[in-house]
Every structure is written in structure tokens, then in C-alpha cells.
Amino acid sequence: MSAVVILCSHDDSMNRYLVYELMREGLRGRYKKIELHVMSPLPPPLYLKQVRDLLLSNIHVSIVVKYAGHGPDSLKTLLQKLVGSGSSVKVYSTRGLGVEYLEVIKQFGINLAVVGEGS
């Protein structure tokens, strides 16, 4: 199973570019089933509104959604777990991230995909 991490800000909803990107990867056969880890300052279940379009638009891939907390420390803990388990990991964001997030992602050698207008 592939692991996809989505980094959201408070007012961020997953825009159409991210939805299209994940749908395209699913159609290409890259993803059959993904474990979607959503990092958001919104608590459960409110964070689900940020990924609603993705969940409703994607019929090609089985998706398991998990809340992953918020902040660089939560991201580091999550990536340690995912990389340690041997999962294929992809990190998406629709906005520029702070240096702390970028450093954590770089530690694990994972490429960040910034999608959306102006990316």
C-alpha cells in the first residue's frame, strides 16, 4: 500500500489540482490502494472537509483516511513510522511550507509535491 501525506493549513481545502494529480496517478496504475494521512490544524472530524473533494472524486483508488496531527514534530513521527514500515511515501501540499516542515521532509529523502495555482 502506498502512503500519501497531505499537509493542510487552517483555511486550506484540497484544491482541484491535487484532486486531479492523485486521480491521474490512480489512472496510471501507480496507486491501487492508498493510506491518506492528513496533517491539519483542524481536529477530527473537521479535517475531513479539507479532503472532501478528493474522496468524492476518486473512484479508481481505495482510500483509507487517517488524521495525522499537525506540526513538524507530528510529521517527523509519521514519516519515521511510514518509512520504517517500508511504505512508498509521497508528500503533497497546496501551499509553500515553513522551513521546519521542509527540513523534516528532506531528512527522509522524500520529494515534496506542491500542487496548485502558482506551483
pLDDT tens, per residue, the chain with 119 residues: 789 998 887 766 666 777 788 878 877 888 888 899 999 888 999 888 888 888 888 777 889 999 999 999 999 999 999 999 999 999 998 777 889 999 999 999 998 988 765 54
CB contact at 8 A, 98 and 12: no
Q: Where are the alpha helices (DSSP H) in 1-116?
A: 16-27, 52-57, 72-84, 99-107
Contacts of 5 (CB under 8 A, 6+ apart): 37, 39, 68, 75, 78, 79, 82, 89, 90, 91, 92
CB-count exposure of residue 71 (10 Å: 0-12, 13-18, 19+): middle
**102 grid coordinates:** 521542509
* pTM, two decimal places: 0.87
2-114, CATH topology level: Rossmann fold (3.40.50)
What pLDDT does residue 116 have?
Answer: 67
